[in-house]
């Protein structure tokens, strides 16, 4: 097939696999359901703190998974 990834190293013959970027809609949905009891016109302080902490945790988890995935790919490439 055609490769459209400009960051792909040429000549290796293998296709570079990347995790998709963080999906803001998914993160927002999860944190909203977790933190907002009764939707209203504004967020109170506890809801704001909950949303901020939820989003930080989501991003930390995503970064951890991404690093682990990339290091596993590098190990597998080194063993080819």
Write down the pLDDT at residue 10: 42
- For residue 48, CA distances in Å to 14, 44, 72, 79 come to 45, 6, 36, 47
Nearest CA to 19 among 55, 57, 56, 72? 72
Q: pLDDT of the chain along its 80 residues, tens only?
A: 444 444 444 444 444 556 666 677 888 899 999 999 888 899 999 999 999 999 999 999 989 999 999 999 999 888 88
For residue 49, the Cα-to-chain-centroid distance in whole angstroms is 21
CA distance 61 to 79: 27
Token reading at 42: 């504004």
**Do 22 and 46 form a contact (C-beta atoms < 8 A)?**
no
Ordered by start, the domain boundaries in the chain are 24-35+44-78
């Amino acid at each position: 097939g055609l490769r459209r990834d400009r960051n792909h190293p040429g000549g290796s013959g293998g296709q570079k696999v990347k995790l998709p970027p963080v999906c803001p809609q998914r993160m927002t949905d999860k944190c909203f359901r977790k933190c907002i009891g009764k939707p209203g016109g504004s967020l109170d302080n506890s809801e704001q703190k909950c949303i901020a902490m939820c989003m930080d945790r989501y991003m930390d988890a995503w970064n951890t998974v991404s690093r682990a995935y990339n290091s596993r790919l590098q190990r597998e490439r080194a063993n080819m």
